[in-house]
Amino acid sequence: MIIVMRPHAVEAELEGVTALIASLRLSAHISKGAERTIVGVVGAPNDKETLLAQFAGLDGVEAVVPISKSFKLVSREAKRERSIVRVKPGVSFGGTTLAVCAGPCSVESREQLEITAEAVSRAGANVLRGGAFKPRTSPYAFQGLGEEGLKFLREAADQHGLVVATEVLDVRDVELVSRYADILQVGARNMQNFTLLREVGGARVPVLLKRGIAATIDEWLMAAEYVYGAGNHDIVLCERGIRSYDQQTRNLLDLSAVPVVQELTHLPIIVDPSHGTGVRALVTPMSLAAVAGGADGLMVEVHPNPAAAFSDGPQSLTLAMFGELMARVGPVAEAVGRTLPEAATAAA
Ligand code: PEP
Ligand code: MN
């Protein structure tokens, strides 16, 4: 349930609420907004009706709202207005300005990143993506450059006024990756790695949570609930396609997830048409569709020479193709009341 405090409730009244929560061995998640404080109560109480009345009777409490969904803190019942995840000035997810993350699948070299960062920032992206720790189906495939790759990402992003989004694969690396990254990506294969979710929930950097390869929307939002419950409220969801039977595309990009998720949760959601289709020619049309359908941003794989990419070459755009994509996304964004990020190069 959610306890909504009165607009001018004092600290002692809030303490009265948290003391009752603690005495019932439930947990409290406090969000202090500009207007009022909201307390999320999580746990399995024996007698809900009595409990609702008990909280409603406390000083400073305006309303007690039971939450019917299995995910609570991330639900729209808990917070009606959409959340905006602010990464840095000029980079946020969920406002009227879109976030555009672009870069190679894998970080391969300093030069590759430098060329890519320059081009994507010139085209209007505001987040540099790239994997330094790669989750590969085959243990013999390129596994990533590790910390060296993180350094290349940081350097190239700083050089071109971008922020860094990169995957963290393992709980043991959360601290290391957080030192270099502005956004921690939890990949599709780790969406239900609950220890990792808790660990990134303790990080001070926003989390980009990709949808699992065969995850339902409810499972995905429960994964977000782990991160939120562990204390990190800066979560961006990323639809990246789900496993299906059709052989024409790598995954089935579920664009209906965008409005469904926006109905169920206050968290922002972006779309990754690169993994979502696996086919270069489909990335631009599906980017346009995602923005038209209300996505808060895009994640696109871009490589200076896709034919030579260490991973995901067939779905990577060339630098020129990414420029064309951005030029075509602009008018679609405008048609749905959104704008592209301000040119990072102008800001840098
Ligand atoms: C990636 O972003 O390169 C990646 C591995 O994504 P996903 O986890 O969606 O497969
Ligand atoms: Mn990839």
pTM metric for this prediction:
0.92
Secondary structure (DSSP) of 256-286: THHHHHHHHBSS-EEE-HHHHH--HHHHHHH
State whether the beta carbon of 270 lies less than 6 angstroms from ligand 1.
no
Query: Residue 27 belongs to what H/E stretch?
Result: strand 27-32
Comparing 345 with 258, the larger pLDDT belongs to: 258
Q: Copy the structure tokens of residue 95.
A: 């406002």
Q: Copy the structure tokens of residue 250.
A: 């790598």
- Mutate-to-test residue for ligand 1 from 239, 240, 249, 298, highest number of ligand atoms within 8 A of CB: 240
Q: Is the pLDDT of residue 315 over 90?
A: yes
When pLDDT is averaged across residues 291-315 and rounded to a whole number, the result is 98
CB atoms inside a 10 Å sphere around CB 202: 13
Report the pLDDT value the prediction gives residue 343, as an integer from 0 to 100. 66
What pairing do the DSSP bridges indicate for beta strands 2-5 and 235-239? Answer: unpaired
The ligand whose atoms approach the alpha carbon of 215 most closely is 1
Instruction: Tell me, in angstroms, the distance from the centre of ligand 1 to residue 211's CA.
Output: 10
Comparing 30 with 108, the larger pLDDT belongs to: 108
Across all residues in the chain, what is the average pLDDT? 95
Helix, strand or coil, per DSSP, at residue 118:
helix
**Which of 278, 301, 245, 271 lies closest to 137, judged by CA?**
278
Helix, strand or coil, per DSSP, at residue 318:
coil
Q: What are residue 266's phi and psi, to 5 degrees? A: -85, -5
DSSP 212: P
Q: What are residue 267's phi and psi, to 5 degrees? A: -75, 145
CB atoms inside a 10 Å sphere around CB 140: 7
Instruction: Tell me, in angstroms, the distance from the centre of ligand 2 to residue 130's CA.
Output: 8
When pLDDT is averaged across residues 150-163 and rounded to a whole number, the result is 98
Q: Is the pLDDT of residue 345 over 60?
A: no
Report the pLDDT value the prediction gives residue 192, as an integer from 0 to 100. 98
When pLDDT is averaged across residues 317-338 and rounded to a whole number, the result is 98
- What is the crossing angle of helices 217-229 and 257-264, to 10°? 40
Confidence band for 164, pLDDT divided at 50, 70 and 90: very high
Express as a percent the part of the chain with pLDDT over 70. Answer: 98
Cα–Cα dist 78/272, whole Å: 27
Tokens 């905006």 correspond to 84
Helix, strand or coil, per DSSP, at residue 105:
coil
When pLDDT is averaged across residues 277-291 and rounded to a whole number, the result is 98
Report the pLDDT value the prediction gives residue 348, as an integer from 0 to 100. 43
When pLDDT is averaged across residues 207-229 and rounded to a whole number, the result is 97
Report the pLDDT value the prediction gives residue 346, as an integer from 0 to 100. 45
State whether the beta carbon of 135 lies less than 6 angstroms from ligand 1.
yes
- Mutate-to-test residue for ligand 1 from 101, 105, 303, highest number of ligand atoms within 8 A of CB: 105
When pLDDT is averaged across residues 5-26 and rounded to a whole number, the result is 94
When pLDDT is averaged across residues 63-78 and rounded to a whole number, the result is 88
Instruction: Tell me, in angstroms, the distance from the centre of ligand 1 to residue 166's CA.
Output: 10
Q: Is the pLDDT of residue 44 over 90?
A: no
Closest-CA residue, ligand 1 atom 10, reads 188
Cα–Cα dist 23/244, whole Å: 48
Closest atom of ligand 1 to 188 CA is: 8
Query: Residue 210 belongs to what H/E stretch?
Result: strand 207-210
Alpha helices by DSSP H, listed for 45-204, are: 48-56, 110-123, 147-159, 174-180, 194-201
Helix, strand or coil, per DSSP, at residue 32:
strand
When pLDDT is averaged across residues 42-65 and rounded to a whole number, the result is 88
CA 57 to centroid of chain Cα atoms: 38
Q: What are residue 48's phi and psi, to 5 degrees? A: -60, -40
* β-strand partners of 106: 131
Confidence band for 149, pLDDT divided at 50, 70 and 90: very high
Comparing 69 with 333, the larger pLDDT belongs to: 333
Helix, strand or coil, per DSSP, at residue 93:
strand
Report the pLDDT value the prediction gives residue 325, as an integer from 0 to 100. 98
Report the pLDDT value the prediction gives residue 347, as an integer from 0 to 100. 44
Q: Is the pLDDT of residue 99 over 50?
A: yes
Express as a percent the part of the chain with pLDDT over 90. Answer: 87
Region of residue 103 (left: phi > 0; alpha: psi -120 to 50; beta: else): left
